[in-house]
A and B are shown apart, each in its own frame.
Chain A
């Protein structure tokens, strides 16, 4: 796993321009949410947001939601494309022929992607703090890290599932993008669950990111949500176990299928 992690870092750091651009990219995509929010309310405070969530600071609310959602990118893009990258490099057959379970390679890429995402989050937080000022409850940082750790279990399950789907679909970026876009909509990143239509609220209850983001905001800025911290942790653990089991199950089926049909190396 660590060998895969180190390999990915070496490749990434070979293309320094892309690496630096990648560090700033999430910032590019969070700024429109902030500027749009300021344009909508005419300032940084929203009375309606305070009524719904207990906090009216739209910048801190949105930033926390968005930057921690970066871990979803770990699952969707980092892990989702792990095996597809091996196909591009021309090493997929060697990977599959090695006496190592395939999911270990995927988890190695997950380790790299998680570390990369951690670096991005740190950088984003510092830059946004200096531009907009963030007011956080420092005592909430450690419990937030615990929640992130539990949330990552489900996201790794999702990543394992996506990495196998890409083996079948080849142009798997569409699958990853669809999944990512859908989860972004149903997760309360820049808005609370209450503004979603009821069907999307119900779907949101099965997403680990819903509990993860809302609970992190509860710890850091005192957001009031419809469930307790204990509820959130229990649900995150249940969803995590379910998504990992499902992800591994689908991965094994697809792994056998592509090897039986000889489609592994087809492009």
Chain B
């Protein structure tokens, strides 16, 4: 019975968030297109620097001469980071803007299905965005996606999402406490953007490489690019998959612990409804 109720809470949360998103169709279209647009200057820059679309120097760092698909894959997967940090982390803050946070936290249900519902909503919407972006990459930029690559890529994306949503649940809890958490979220976004191989290989600098080892996006990008650009299988890349899984478990456990600790503290101090 409890499982049935929890599933219906998750489903209601997903439906609610999707309905709200569909009220802003321009936002939907924007996120399907613009993460790829933001990567376009890098493609032109690469062409200007080497006079073509392939680079031998690049292949020494990445194993592939083709920087365009490298950049595009980074742009698509980075969509999940933006969704986790700005969507999921701010989800409870949005409830307080709408005046519904106290109702949710005061309701006689576990907070876990509510958080799972929000995470599932973000997963669904960011996957819709990612699929549209890949479609654009295939049609306009000629990105090659083989059918047998789709399942392993989906598995890695799911693993990436697990870790990111673990982190964003912690951030959602912190947001309940400090209210204006956008500086913290921006800072984490910058860390992800600079220290994982979204736009460039992290081997370019030893400090960047060192910090990238603790970021789940690093491993997800390494595996997806390995599958799509270097024709490797998941088995060949098993070490990256195992590390990604270990980071996910750590982030999920930490995320839930931080959220429940802060939520309990916020309820005791009575600051939940303060703005």
- In the bound assembly, the distance between CA atoms of A174 and B32 in angstroms comes to 13
B69 to chain A, nearest CB (A): 14
Within 8 A of A (CB), among B32-80: 34, 37-38, 40-42, 44-51, 55-58, 60-62, 67
A246: interface (CB < 8 Å): no
A158: interface (CB < 8 Å): no
Whether A42 lies near B193 (C-beta < 8 A) is no
Whether B48 lies near A181 (C-beta < 8 A) is no
Q: Given A32-B194, A185-B41 in contact, is the A195-B47 Cβ separation under 8 Å?
A: yes
B5 / chain A contacts, CB cutoff of 8 Å: none
B204 / chain A contacts, CB cutoff of 8 Å: 35, 38-39
A191: interface (CB < 8 Å): yes
- In the bound assembly, the distance between CA atoms of A64 and B199 in angstroms comes to 20
B55 / chain A contacts, CB cutoff of 8 Å: 40-41
A220: interface (CB < 8 Å): no
Within 8 A of B (CB), among A159-202: 171, 174, 177-178, 181-182, 184-185, 189-192, 194-196
Whether A32 lies near B57 (C-beta < 8 A) is no
Whether B200 lies near A49 (C-beta < 8 A) is no
Counting contact residues on chain A (CB < 8 A from B), the size range is 35 or more
A177 / chain B contacts, CB cutoff of 8 Å: 30, 34
Whether A191 lies near B190 (C-beta < 8 A) is no
- Indicate with 1 or 0, residue by residue over B185-225, a CB within 8 angstroms of chain A CB atoms: 01100100110001111001100100000000000000000
A76 to chain B, nearest CB (A): 14
Counting contact residues on chain B (CB < 8 A from A), the size range is 35 or more
Whether A39 lies near B41 (C-beta < 8 A) is no
B103: interface (CB < 8 Å): no
B26: interface (CB < 8 Å): yes
Whether B41 lies near A35 (C-beta < 8 A) is no
A29 to chain B, nearest CB (A): 8
Whether B186 lies near A190 (C-beta < 8 A) is no
- In the bound assembly, the distance between CA atoms of A28 and B30 in angstroms comes to 23
Whether B193 lies near A32 (C-beta < 8 A) is yes
A87 to chain B, nearest CB (A): 15
B274 / chain A contacts, CB cutoff of 8 Å: none
B46 / chain A contacts, CB cutoff of 8 Å: 36, 40
Within 8 A of B (CB), among A45-63: 46, 48-49, 51-52, 58, 62
Which B residue's beta carbon lies closest to that of A197?
A: B44
- In the bound assembly, the distance between CA atoms of A190 and B45 in angstroms comes to 6
B183: interface (CB < 8 Å): yes
Contact of A21 among B24, B50, B183, B200 (CB under 8 A): B183
Whether B50 lies near A46 (C-beta < 8 A) is yes
Q: Given A25-B186, A171-B24 in contact, is the A37-B30 Cβ separation under 8 Å?
A: no
Interface majority SS (helix, strand, loop, mixed), chain A = helix
- In the bound assembly, the distance between CA atoms of A32 and B46 in angstroms comes to 12
- In the bound assembly, the distance between CA atoms of A193 and B240 in angstroms comes to 40
A122: interface (CB < 8 Å): no
A241: interface (CB < 8 Å): no
A31 to chain B, nearest CB (A): 6
Counting from the closest, the 7 A-B pairs by CB-CB distance are: A42-B57, A191-B48, A48-B51, A32-B199, A36-B200, A190-B45, A46-B49
A189 / chain B contacts, CB cutoff of 8 Å: 41
A17: interface (CB < 8 Å): yes
Contact of A37 among B27, B34, B45, B194 (CB under 8 A): B45
Whether A184 lies near B200 (C-beta < 8 A) is no
Whether B58 lies near A40 (C-beta < 8 A) is yes
Whether B48 lies near A48 (C-beta < 8 A) is yes
A194 / chain B contacts, CB cutoff of 8 Å: 48
Whether A35 lies near B200 (C-beta < 8 A) is yes
B105 to chain A, nearest CB (A): 25
- In the bound assembly, the distance between CA atoms of A32 and B78 in angstroms comes to 14
B44 / chain A contacts, CB cutoff of 8 Å: 185, 190-191, 195-196
Q: Given A171-B27, A177-B30, A181-B37 in contact, is the A39-B45 Cβ separation under 8 Å?
A: no
B269 to chain A, nearest CB (A): 22
- Indicate with 1 or 0, residue by residue over A248-261, a CB within 8 angstroms of chain B CB atoms: 00000000000000
Most interface-central of A36, A49, A181, A196 (chain B CB within 10 A): A36
Most interface-central of B40, B45, B201 (chain A CB within 10 A): B45
- In the bound assembly, the distance between CA atoms of A171 and B201 in angstroms comes to 36
A79 to chain B, nearest CB (A): 21
Whether B199 lies near A36 (C-beta < 8 A) is yes
Q: Given A49-B49, A190-B48 in contact, is the A181-B200 Cβ separation under 8 Å?
A: no
Whether A41 lies near B50 (C-beta < 8 A) is yes
Q: Given A42-B60, A171-B27, A181-B38 in contact, is the A58-B183 Cβ separation under 8 Å?
A: no
B24 / chain A contacts, CB cutoff of 8 Å: 171
